[in-house]
Structure formats: C-alpha cells, structure tokens
Amino acid sequence: MEKIRIIDIARKAGVSAGTVDRVIHERGEVSEDTRNKILKIINELGYTPDLVARALASKKKIKIGILIPDKETSSSYWSYPEKGMNTAINEIKHFGITASYYLFNLHQKESFEDKAAAMLKSGVDAVVIAPLFKNEASSLIDNLHHLNIPCVLVDTDIPDSASLSYVGQNSYKSGRVAAQLLSYSYTGKGDVLILTIARAHENMSHLQQRVQGFKDYFNTVKNKPAIYEVTVNETSDLELFEVLDNPFKKEISIVFVPNSRAFKVADYLSNVNKLGVKILGFDILEQNKEHLMKGNIDFLINQRPEDQGYIGIMTLYNKLVVKKEIERYQYSPIEIITSENIEFVVK
C-alpha cells in the first residue's frame, strides 16, 4: 500500500499537480471534464491528503472564537474547560489554527451579548460556546448558522439549534445517577431534600433536568421517603443560613444539590451541628473537595470539564481539518467521586 501523492494522480490524469489541487479544494477554474476525471482517479486510488505536508505549505489560518464564562464569576469552574481548550489549541496550532477567548460574566446576559457581538465582529471561522443564556444563545446560533460558521456547544445544550455538536453531560441521567447512589444508603429513616441554591434569573433548565431525573429514579425505590423541593436565592451566606433553618426542621437524611453549591449546605449543617445527613452535589470545586474529604459531603458528580473543553476544540479541528463526520451528541461520562477516588480524577 504505497502512499499516493497529488503528483501521482496528476500524472495518471495527464494534468498538472496544480489542477488536481484546484479540484481537491473546490477552487473552481477547472473544466467539468478534467474535474470528473480527476475525481474519479482520486476515488480509485483512495487518495488521502498528507495533513502534515499540507500544514507546512498552507498559509490558510483558521480562527476559532471561544465564548465561555470567566473564571472569576464561576468560582473558578470555567478555568477547567479553558485549560482543556488550551491543551487542544497547543496540539493543533501547527495546522494554522488560532483561538481567542471571549469571556463573559456568568450572571449578566448583557455581558454574554456584548462578547458574542465582539466575537462576530472580529471575524471567526468557527466557534465553541457555552450557551448559558437560552434566548441570547439561540439567536447567536441562528446568526452563526446563516454565516455558515460551525458552532460547538459545551456544558449546556440547546436541543433544536443549528449547532454542530454538544459536548457535555446528559443532565437528566446525571440526576438519576445521583438518586441511585443516595438510595443505596437509604435506611428508611428520614426524608429527602432537593435543594437548589441559585441566583435570580439564572438559567435553570440544566438544574431542572437533573432534579427531574433524580425524582423519577427515587420514585421507583421501595419504602420511598417523602421528597421535598426547595429553591433558594443565592445571596449572602448569612441570609442563606437563615432560610435553610426552615427545611431542616423536618427530619432530613438525604440532600441532593443539583449544582455546585453542595459546599454551602455542608457549611450550614456543620455550623448547626447536624451530622449524619448524606449530601450529593456536582463539580469538584475546591470547597466541595474539602467537605468531601472531611466526610461532610458523600458524593460529587464530576463532568470532566477539562475534557469537555479539549473535546470542544478538537471537534472543530476534526470538522475543518480532518473533515471527519461529527456526532451531534458527545456525552461526557457521569463520574462518581468519593473521598477515596478523588485523587485520581481527571478534571
């Protein structure tokens, strides 16, 4: 199986390499006849371009725009996807790929819109975005679609949008996993509290799906406990702690926190000295990790944010450079983290 080069198919077609190159890149200026002849030979010989040689010769640059939250407004969470993206960018920079970040404030949809506009204006060839504001993101995706700019979604999906791919967890299923774990240790005593701590106006569709999955699973366990659902506004810890007094008047033995705020609950419970409550939350923030190690939090669910970032960028590389088919859904694993396996996690 010899390697086939452009010059080989050029000779076989009785034309020059330049002409073959033109049809490969669909740059036109080739007659239908020779075009078809060349295409046929390419197919017969099973030609695949040498990406290394191409990278060396080509001056074409691909600019990737990245629209994600900044680390400051996200308790450092978004530093992980960013790290993974940087790794990917570093691996593929040889192929003429560059990237620039447009970091928005996680709590301000105006910030999202501003950065999105700036990104579009700068002229990008492909983007990966975290569509945390549903309406604003939807209209951005529409725009990108019309401009023929491929778009990868990370962390959150917008189901029927014209995006190339979604990289992230299946939220509903992650809720089910949470329920399964907590139901294992359920002794029949005490009730279950689903506790959502979130900012006003935060996009909560993610959280709602997790909660739904959790409830659906828990409703199938026998001797099922009562399940209470409480949503509280994330303000100061002082206020929060006061608000929490109320739900915990009930005898609660299990708490499900559908986002990264489990540490706040653990803070509260160790404060009021209520021990023996099982807690499960999401995401390996430093504060969550501390409580996990102390035994105040029992399980965390990790979604490999760094991997998600890496895959997000690589998806664009595979689309534009390797020209591979891209899967619409690239689900991340739903990783169960305890105090005993946390030292080996891949963020």
Partner DNA sequence: CTGTTAGCGCCTTCAG
Partner DNA sequence: CTGAAGGCGCTAACAG
Q: Which is nearer to DNA, 56 or 346 (CB)?
A: 56
Q: Which position among 19, 111, 165, 170 is part of the footprint of its own copies (CB under 8 A)?
A: 170
Q: Which residues contact 268 (CB under 8 A, 6 or more apart)?
A: 240, 241, 244
Judged by CB under 8 A, which of 22, 115, 176, 291 binds its own copies? 176
Interacting partner of 274 out of DNA, its own copies, none (Cβ under 5 to 8 A depending on kind): none
Residue 320 in the binding site for its own copies (CB under 8 A): no
**Which part of the chain contacts its own copies (CB under 8 A), choosing from 112-120, 184-192, 228-236, 239-247?**
184-192
Q: What is the DSSP letter of 46?
A: T
Q: Give the residue from 177, 182, 206 showing the smallest Cα distance to 193.
A: 182
Q: What is the DSSP letter of 248?
A: G
d(CA 266, CA 339): 15
Q: Mapping DSSP to helix (H, G, I), strand (E, B) and coil, where does residue 77 land?
A: coil
Q: Which two tokens stand for residue 101?
A: 């970040």
| Cα angle: 244, vertex 334, 173; to 5 degrees | 75
Alpha-carbon span 336 to 301, nearest angstrom:
5
**Two tokens at 118?**
């700036």
Residue pointed to by tokens 């206020």: 239
C-alpha 150/C-alpha 154 separation (Å) is 13
Contacts of 193 (CB under 8 A, 6+ apart): 227, 228, 229, 230, 247, 248, 250, 252, 254, 255, 256
DSSP element (H, E) containing 124? none
Given DNA, its own copies, none, residue 331, with its beta carbon under 5 to 8 Å by kind, binds its own copies
Q: Is residue 97 a contact point for its own copies (CB under 8 A)?
A: no
Instruction: Out of 107, 173, 215, 224, point to the residue binding its own copies (CB under 8 A).
Output: 173
Touching DNA, residues 21-80 (CB under 7 A): 21-22, 24-25, 28-35, 49-50, 53-54, 56-60
* Partner from its own copies, DNA, none binding residue 332, C-beta < 5-8 Å depending on class: its own copies
How far apart CA 161 and CA 215 sit, in angstroms, is: 28
Report if residue 295 touches its own copies, rule: CB under 8 A: no
Residue 148 CB, nearest approach to its own copies (Å) = 28
Instruction: Return the residue of 7, 147, 272, 346 that touches its own copies, per CB under 8 A.
Output: 346
Q: Residue 125 and residue 33: Cα distance in Å, rounded?
A: 32
Stretch in the footprint of its own copies (CB under 8 A) among 109-117, 170-178, 196-204, 228-236: 170-178
333 binds its own copies (CB under 8 A): yes
Count of residues in contact with its own copies, rule CB under 8 A: 33
With CB under 8 A as the contact rule, which of the stretches 28-36, 147-155, 240-248, 339-347 interacts with its own copies? 339-347
Residue ranges that bind its own copies, judged by CB under 8 A: 50-53, 55-56, 94, 169-170, 173, 176-177, 180-181, 184-185, 187, 217, 298, 331-336, 338-341, 343-346
Residue ranges that bind DNA, judged by CB under 7 A: 3, 5-7, 14-19, 21-22, 24-25, 28-35, 49-50, 53-54, 56-60
